Amino acid sequence: MSCEAPPEEEAPGGEGGERQSEGGCYLALCARPVHFEKANPVNCVFFDEANKQVFAVRSGGATGVVVKGLEDKNPISFRMEDKGEVKCIKFSLGNKILAVQRTLKNVDFLNFIPDSPQLEYTQECKTKNANILGFCWTSSTEIVFITDQGIEFYQVVLPEKRSLKLLKNQSINVNWYMYCPESSVILLSTTVLGNVLQPFYFKSGTMSKLSKFEIELPAAPKSSKLSLSERDIALAMIYGQLYVLYLRHHSRTSNSTGAEVVLYHLPREGSCKKTHILKLNRTGKFALNVVDNLVVVHHQDTETSVIFDIKLKGEFDGTTTIHQFVLPPRSIQPYQIPVAGPASVTSQSPVPCKLYSSSWIVFQPDIIISASEGYLWNLQVKLEPVVNLLPDKGRLMDFLLQRKECKMVILAVCSQMLSEPGRGSLSVTATIFDKLNHEYKKYLEAEQSYTLVVEAGQSRSNLLLKRPVRTQAVIDQSDMYTHVLSVFTEKKEAPHKFTIAVLMEYIRSLNQFQIAVQHYLYELVIKTLVQHNLFYMLHQFLQYHVLSDSKPLACLLLSLESIYPPAHQLSLDMLKRLSTANDEIVEVLLSKHQVLAALRFIRGIGGHDSISARKFLDAAKQAEDDMLFYTIFRFFEQRNQRLRGNPSFTPGEHCEEHVTFFKQVFGEQALMKPTTF
């Protein structure tokens, strides 16, 4: 079932043409559509909303049926006997059983199971004098017939036995129906006016009747005839919840012009409530899609579409939230239809597709079909153009954080926010960091809770517990460091005070959400301070513990001693507070070729009499600095003299190669002579 396809085409040059020239299309048809044979007198086209498949049925199936889906690598082709006009055709979930409706009284079935005879079998509807409006597969073996007098829920007991068993039926007058496969809910329109809707939920052989509800019509109907059309209703999952979307062409309030989309939240338990109103501010004929949790409303008169995000803040009137569209109206991005045929022919330029064509039909959540051109597309949201269409950075970030493919766009926005010419204020930057870290913290807490439960070995609850999914909205410290902050500091475009303020703002935000700050962020702060000779600020940050103690940070400070002597003592103080193993610190410094810093550190803690001379001489030699090697060699000669009364190395110290190297470079006369008293 679909909302109304956008109606008659408008001559070019109207409002749609103006909108198009403004650019920034944020909606696009997918690059690889499903191509099928166009609808014509011989070929009938059907769409199955559960499997998202298009059926092209030629001559009632006698000259072939071709089934194609967006996910299907290989189309399914078969023939079937022409037993009259096909009204409805669908595969069960998994494509094992085909169901075909040709009359108002029964549905035919055909097994597509390997090594099973392909004989048809039939199921008549049980209710006397009832006409079948259609059917829906709810699983690989369960099917629901919807008649004008109710619904009948069947199970194909054993496909090879070719028989169906009635599981449950419900009598109710039905005008039309709608099915949402993502939630396994069928919605029935009942009563004379058609505005009382009765939902049913299906799961593994059970049928549950949910609370019925009434759709508020724009005004009291003048006659007692069907007033709510299925064209004005859509059923879709938005942010994991099921909603009924009602396209109300005239607002109930007299002071409001234009149509609106009213959202009714339909929970599994409890009553259905009107929760959101989406203001369209225009009249005409519309069509609805839901893409990436956004409600997309197409308007054919202007050949534009708008999007709504019910998670964004709207105007709350006590019961419902009223939303305006997030972005200005834009057309779907122009689409070129490739020319099919032999290679010699395909050199022709592609044909532009007529967007918002009268032959378009939309299906939920994101399907657009052009039966006249033989194409099925997914509608997609493009996030890059949104960045320039939504100037409020806070609202932009709220919008982006809810989208599936958002990470790289969010990081690009952060980089853009810190760069000229569009540099944001520090308060805007702080707001963005807080929004990102709020999402980051939510994920860390969920991950921690999961780990605790798993470690506790609560096997029963483990069956229900799922590991938290890390969405693209989780921007962690390494993402920010790699893509934004390190690049920002390297560019050196901004005044250094602003650069340091931005780094400290990010650290402040992490602390606010009680997220442990990674040492590389502190290192970035220190390096930036050193680059600008802001040693007094560095000293204050360390003294007042603005930069948290860590081993890598202490090593970095030790390496700064040559340009800022107090850094040595600051580093030692930090290491003492950390109570870190001193050997480890020496290893870290030596690995960074900070040989003198390592030696000074070991002297500072009084461990220089017991350290391995060879380890230090190895590191000094690797540094390929002769004067450094000389200094280190001389230090250990002096230590040997002081401890043993002789500057020579003992065989146990394994320093023979270093003594040879020293002689080669500086000459034997440079060796220290034993001192005698």
Q: What integer pLDDT is reported at residue 581 of this predicted model? A: 62
Distance in angstroms (rounded) separating the CA atoms of residues 664 and 453 = 65
Alpha carbons within 13 angstroms on the beta-carbon side of residue 543 total: 7
- Rounded to 10 degrees, the C-alpha dihedral 433/437/439/441 comes to -170
Q: If pLDDT is split at 50, 70 and 90, which confidence band does 464 have?
A: low
Does the CA dihedral 202-203-209-213 come out positive or negative?
Answer: negative
| pLDDT tens-digit readout, 276-313 | 999 998 888 899 999 999 999 999 889 999 999 999 99
Q: What is the DSSP letter of 520?
A: H
Q: What is the mean pLDDT of residues 551-576?
A: 80
Q: What is the mean pLDDT of residues 391-396?
A: 91
Closest Cα to residue 236, out of 188, 184, 180?
180
Q: What is the mean pLDDT of residues 613-641?
A: 91
| pLDDT tens-digit readout, 347-388 | 567 778 888 988 899 999 999 998 888 899 999 999 999 998
Query: CA-CA distances (angstroms) from residue 610 to 302, 583, 591, 595, 619?
Result: 84, 11, 20, 16, 17
In contact, 380 and 368? CB cutoff 8 Å: no
**3-state percent helix, strand, coil for the chain, nearest multiple of 5:** 30, 25, 45
| pLDDT tens-digit readout, 95-107 | 888 999 999 999 9
Closest Cα to residue 546, out of 565, 526, 563?
526
- Residues 6+ away with beta carbon under 8 Å from 609: 639, 643
Higher pLDDT, 83 or 403: 403
Distance in angstroms (rounded) separating the CA atoms of residues 68 and 454 = 43
Q: What integer pLDDT is reported at residue 3 of this predicted model? A: 38
- Prior bond of 365 cis (ω within 30°): yes
Q: Per the structure block, which two tokens stand in for 674?
A: 């034993």
Q: CB 449: neighbour CB atoms within 10 A?
A: 12
In contact, 335 and 258? CB cutoff 8 Å: no
pTM (2 d.p.) = 0.79
Query: CA-CA distances (angstroms) from residue 237 to 38, 163, 212?
Result: 30, 34, 18
Q: What integer pLDDT is reported at residue 422 of this predicted model? A: 67
Q: What single letter denotes the amino acid at residue 161?
A: K
Q: What is the DSSP letter of 98?
A: E
Q: What integer pLDDT is reported at residue 463 of this predicted model? A: 56
Q: If pLDDT is split at 50, 70 and 90, which confidence band does 344 have?
A: very low
Q: What is the mean pLDDT of residues 196-201?
A: 93
Mean pLDDT of the chain: 85
Domain ranges of the chain: 593-676
pLDDT > 90 fraction of the chain, expressed in percent and rounded: 41
Q: What integer pLDDT is reported at residue 159 of this predicted model? A: 67
What Rg do the C-alpha atoms of the chain give, in angstroms?
Answer: 36
Q: What integer pLDDT is reported at residue 1 of this predicted model? A: 31
Identify the top-confidence range among 32-41, 434-443, 604-613. Answer: 434-443
